[in-house]
Structure 1
Amino acid sequence: MDFADQLPMSRLPTPEDYVGAVVFLAGKDSAMIIGSNITVDGGATAKYWPWQPDRG
């Protein structure tokens, strides 16, 4: 199985996927956004959260 197939959107992000976030952050609508993360990864971070509960 390909790594990208395991992601929620079944593909890796491309440079074009970042454009919307960059344009938003460069515009006036984001003037009050400070110290936040905008993750553009197709859900990979949400699916592969590094913490796993103890299944003891």
Structure 2
Amino acid sequence: MDAVSNYVVVDAIYDTEDINTITKFLKESTANKNKIAITTDLDKNYSLIIPKLGFKHIMYFSC
């Protein structure tokens, strides 16, 4: 979701949600884009990947 417009920017459906799949998705969906941060749920896999790709990582928890 774009934080300003509140629209979905990119989404995809995969058979698995592992580190390799997440990394591939993020690399492809952010190529040639101005990037500052990615907001995710609390899945620990994101914390391993996002900083390595050059983003700030913001985790979001909703009740």
Higher relative strand content? 2
Pick 1 or 2: higher relative contact order, CA cutoff 8 A, min separation 6.
Answer: 1
Whether TM exceeds 0.5 here: the answer is no
> TM-score if structure 2 supplies the norm length?
0.27
- The structure whose Rg is larger is 1
Higher relative helix content? 1
> TM-score if structure 1 supplies the norm length?
0.28
